[in-house]
Copies of this chain bind each other. A is one copy, B any other.
Amino acid sequence: MIIVGLDMMGGDFAPLEAVKGAAAFFAENPLSVRMLLIGDKEKIKNVLLMHPLPEELIEIIHAPQVIEMHEHPTKALKEKPDSSIAIGFQLLATSKIEAFISAGNTGAMMVGALFTIKTIDGILRPTIGAYFPRENGSLGLLVDVGLNADCKPENLNQFALLGTIFATHILNIENPKAGLINLGEEEGKGNHLAQATFPLLKENKHLNFVGNIEGRDILLDKADVMVCDGFTGNVVLKLAESIYDLIKRRNIEDEHFERFNFETYGGVPVLGVAKPVIIGHGISSNVAFKNMIKTAVKMIEIDFTGKIKNSFIND
């Protein structure tokens, strides 16, 4: 049986939303997964009184320490070996769990992932992406959204492939179109990075490269995997997130814009590390937690990291 580790102390509403998310997952997928709930035992038990989970499928792993959102990642991990994040990565490294999910301190999650489970051989830098809703109901993927502020062309080329593998196997998009975010459509346009990246993507036989895409294409389905450096991607993601806030402030009801509520997506995996790690938004709702668990289970079921390893070995 698949075993997933869930950080119960991450996010602004811990551990309530994580418990509710797990409950929603079990309601949809009974008997499919075992979950290790990592965090303060008393707090978790208190929430479980109101929101019970199937006892035979869960185990509470007590973690008396919590890494707060503002703490320095490396320092916090070192000084808090009994934090839910530190314990989660130990469980993952020792194969007690097959995937680790947290909506906690993003930096600490990244440092933990890089130092305990490491990147897949051949991958220069892991990346994190974000889903973008499209009007046809599907999701696009933007990579990188902030993990790598400065990038080299080789990084973007790898992000494009990692994103393509994710879009293919997790988003179920057949032969996903990969686009390079740029300031113009024509080949040769762009800053130095985009100009140097274009030929790499064009020549990468594992990609369905559709060329440059512009800012106006990001909310469309011109490309399924949209690649850029983490600086641009982070600004783009946060701008897109703010559209939802603006829509709400204007009291607009619209089915499509409802999907701009990024809180419900629950983050995408760290792409390029050796085991499934999913980092959620600090404001993750129970829907987000449910979706993160679903994604983690799917990644385990299809051996997602194995597929990445194969792609990079055969490259």
Q: Compute how far the CA of A232 lies from the CA of B249 in the bound complex, rounded to whole angstroms.
A: 26
What are the residues of chain B within 8 A of A232 when measuring CB–CB? 231-232, 235
What are the residues of chain B within 8 A of A220 when measuring CB–CB? 242
Cβ of A249 and Cβ of B191 under 8 Å apart?
Answer: no
Q: Which of B238, B249, B252 contacts A214 (CB 8 A)?
A: B238
Cβ of A191 and Cβ of B239 under 8 Å apart?
Answer: no
Confirm or deny: A243 has a beta carbon within 8 angstroms of a beta carbon on chain B.
yes
Interface range, A side:
35 or more
Q: Which residues 161-195 of A sit at the B interface, judged by CB distance below 8 A? A: 181-183, 190-192, 194
Cβ of B150 and Cβ of A191 under 8 Å apart?
Answer: yes
Cβ of B236 and Cβ of A216 under 8 Å apart?
Answer: no
Q: Compute how far the CA of A110 lies from the CA of B191 in the bound complex, rounded to whole angstroms.
A: 17
Confirm or deny: A230 has a beta carbon within 8 angstroms of a beta carbon on chain B.
yes
Q: Which of B194, B216, B243 contacts A241 (CB 8 A)?
A: B216
What are the residues of chain B within 8 A of A306 when measuring CB–CB? none
Known: A240-B239, A243-B243, A250-B257. A183 touches B230 (CB 8 A): yes
Q: Compute how far the CA of A108 lies from the CA of B268 in the bound complex, rounded to whole angstroms.
A: 43
Task: Tell me how far the C-beta of A251 lies from the nearest C-beta in chain B, rounded to whole angstroms.
Answer: 9
What are the residues of chain B within 8 A of A27 when measuring CB–CB? none
Task: Tell me how far the C-beta of A186 lies from the nearest C-beta in chain B, rounded to whole angstroms.
Answer: 9
Cβ of B236 and Cβ of A215 under 8 Å apart?
Answer: yes
Cβ of A191 and Cβ of B229 under 8 Å apart?
Answer: yes
Cβ of B243 and Cβ of A194 under 8 Å apart?
Answer: no
What are the residues of chain B within 8 A of A182 when measuring CB–CB? 235
Mask, A249-267, CB within 8 Å of B = 1, is 1101010110000000000
Mask, A220-234, CB within 8 Å of B = 1, is 100000001111101
Residue of B nearest to A215 (CB): B238
Cβ of A250 and Cβ of B246 under 8 Å apart?
Answer: no
Confirm or deny: A146 has a beta carbon within 8 angstroms of a beta carbon on chain B.
yes
What are the residues of chain B within 8 A of A192 when measuring CB–CB? 149-150
Confirm or deny: A237 has a beta carbon within 8 angstroms of a beta carbon on chain B.
yes
Cβ of B183 and Cβ of A149 under 8 Å apart?
Answer: yes
Residue of B nearest to A151 (CB): B191
Residue of B nearest to A230 (CB): B183
Q: Compute how far the CA of A191 lies from the CA of B230 in the bound complex, rounded to whole angstroms.
A: 9
Cβ of A219 and Cβ of B235 under 8 Å apart?
Answer: no
What are the residues of chain B within 8 A of A149 when measuring CB–CB? 183, 190-192, 194
Interfacial residues, chain A to chain B (CB-CB below 8 A):
135, 146, 149-150, 181-183, 190-192, 194, 214-220, 228-232, 234-243, 245-246, 249-250, 252, 254, 256-257
User: Closest 10 A-B residue pairs measured CB to CB?
Assistant: A215-B238, A183-B234, A149-B191, A215-B239, A215-B235, A216-B242, A216-B238, A191-B231, A150-B191, A214-B238
Q: List 5 A-B contacts (CB under 8 A).
A: A150-B191, A183-B231, A215-B241, A235-B235, A252-B252
